Amino acid sequence: MISARTRLAVVIGDPVRHSLSPALHNAAYREMGIDWVYVALEVPAGSAGAALAGLAALGIAGCSVTMPHKTAAAEACAVLTPAAAALRSVNTVTVVDGHLEGDSTDGPGFLAALAEAGVVPSGLRVLLCGAGGAARAVADALGRAGADVVVTARRTDAAAETAALAGGSTVPWTDRDSAVSECAVVVNATPIGMGGDGATVVAPGALLPGQIVADLVYHPLDTALLRAARERGAQSVDGLGMLVHQAALQIRRWTGSEAPIAAMRTAARAELTESGRA
């Protein structure tokens, strides 16, 4: 029951109504038995600074940040974690002693999903497809974890910027299929395959037994790329793990307690199924 004692956490974004974060966080709070509630606030572009400035006064425990506010949030925070500073992007704001601290949990969330699949990226060569916000977060995290990151994207300048975050290299977008054979891990950080259209970011025939193939796309959860990977004897890692773990890291930061991963995963699956996105 929501009462005068209930603590509030929020997500700001626009659009935000499709966000899975309320389902993930509220399931976690229920499972943890804490009197917290998490709501989505639609904040238009240009208003993130004003919204974040109100967090401390309102006593809001934490704020997730999604498009289009991640850069504005980085500018609004007094303190940034090394990842958030490198990316100039914040998805997690915590009020600490009245000031705002910004973090970026997408990259560490991706590493946690890999770890859950038994993958330790240190020393592995990773072909990272895409150079948008998610790819940048993954590149930064993989670089910090000691992976050899090779970025491929259709915009060469964006690919080079993303690779630089990891101290890595690039291959031309047109050469990505031949680059697959030189990599232990392939990551799709583009929307290719979203909506279950059957498209794959690399040719299915380029994938090899023993490789790890991770897709950030989570609707559908089992993309054509992941099916192709398993058919060829590779291990598939779906986008749900990253989604759950980036939220779990927020919860740990705000509450000081470990988040219940299994309950969050169940809630995310249910929400995806209910909204026809599984």
Q: 220-259: b or e for each residue (b if 16 or more CB lie within 10 Å)?
A: bbebbbbbbbeebebbbbbbbbbbbbbbbbbbebbbeeeb
Name the catalytic one among 25, 69, 70, 219.
70
Q: How far is the CB of 156 from ligand NAP (least distance, A)?
A: 10
Q: Tell me if 226 sits within 8 A of 213, measured CB to CB.
A: yes
Q: Tell me if 215 sits within 8 A of 227, measured CB to CB.
A: no
What is the rounded distance in angstroms from the CA atom of residue 59 to the CA atom of residue 52? 11
Known catalytic membership, residue 70: yes
Dihedral (CA of 147, 148, 151, 156) sign: positive
Complex with ligand NAP: residue 8 or 19, whichever CB lies closer: 19
Complex with ligand NAP: residue 9 or 159, whichever CB lies closer: 159
Q: How far is the CB of 191 from ligand NAP (least distance, A)?
A: 4
Q: How far is the CB of 70 from ligand NAP (least distance, A)?
A: 9
Task: Provide the binding-site residues for ligand NAP, judged by CB under 6 A.
Answer: 106, 130-135, 153-155, 158, 189-192, 194, 216-218, 239, 242-243, 246
In the block, which residue shows the tokens 């031949």?
178
Complex with ligand NAP: residue 114 or 135, whichever CB lies closer: 135
Residue nearest to ligand NAP (CB): 132
Instruction: Tokens for 255, please give them.
Output: 């509450």
Complex with ligand NAP: residue 154 or 232, whichever CB lies closer: 154
State residue 225 phi and psi, 5-degree precision.
Answer: -60, -45
State residue 234 phi and psi, 5-degree precision.
Answer: -95, 165
Q: How far is the CB of 170 from ligand NAP (least distance, A)?
A: 12
As annotated, the active-site residues are 70
